[in-house]
């Protein structure tokens, strides 16, 4: 017989194993000190948990919890989000094409270098803004 997994032993302990499996696992438990010790530990933990004082949750607990949660803000229409992203992108592509057409490779490199510097300088502000918006939504 192969050694059962802890999950199989827990199925035996909680009575979830089928009849054939239950008899096989029970036979293994009787002959294996390690598996017996594991199941004894589970039974010990159950006894300790049963001894803890516990109260029933309040009847209106779910309603009180839901009342404290703010409804999610209405989503921004996709069309408005797309335009906010598309307009600057189109302007950047047009500027890059113009730089290549008028000044060649050197102008294009200068254009992309300037764009990279602008992006790097705006990144911290954009990150902080997104965290502020996320925090405000979570705190509602």
Mapped onto helix, strand or coil, the DSSP state of residue 139 is: helix
The tokens of 35 are what? 């598996």
pLDDT digits 0-9 by tens, 57-114: 788 888 888 888 877 777 766 666 666 667 777 887 787 778 778 777 777 777 778 8
Statement: residue 132 has pLDDT above 80: no
What is the model's pLDDT at position 140? 46
pLDDT digits 0-9 by tens, 103-128: 777 777 777 788 788 777 878 877 88
CA-angle at 33, arms to 29 and 36, nearest 5°: 50
Give residue 47's pLDDT band: very low, low, confident or very high (50, 70, 90): very high
**Across residues 33-39, what is the average pLDDT?**
92
- Which position has the token pair 């390690």? 34
* Distance in angstroms (rounded) separating the CA atoms of residues 39 and 43: 6
pTM over cut 0.75:
no
Nearest-CA neighbor of 42 among 15, 2, 5, 14? 14
Statement: residue 5 has pLDDT above 80: yes
What is the model's pLDDT at position 115? 78
Statement: residue 9 has pLDDT above 60: yes
What is the model's pLDDT at position 42? 93
């Amino acid at each position: 017989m192969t050694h059962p997994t802890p999950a199989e032993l827990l199925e035996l302990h909680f009575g979830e194993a089928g009849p054939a499996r239950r008899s096989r696992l029970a036979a293994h438990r009787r002959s294996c000190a390690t598996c017996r010790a594991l199941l004894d530990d589970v039974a010990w933990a159950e006894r300790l948990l049963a001894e803890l004082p516990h109260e029933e949750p309040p009847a209106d607990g779910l309603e009180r919890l839901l009342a404290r949660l703010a409804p999610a803000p209405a989503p921004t229409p996709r069309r408005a989000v797309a335009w906010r992203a598309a307009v600057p992108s189109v302007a950047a592509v047009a500027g890059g094409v113009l730089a290549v057409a008028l000044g060649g490779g050197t102008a294009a490199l200068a254009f992309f270098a300037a764009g990279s510097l602008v992006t790097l300088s705006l990144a911290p502000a954009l990150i902080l803004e997104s965290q502020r918006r996320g925090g405000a939504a979570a705190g509602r």
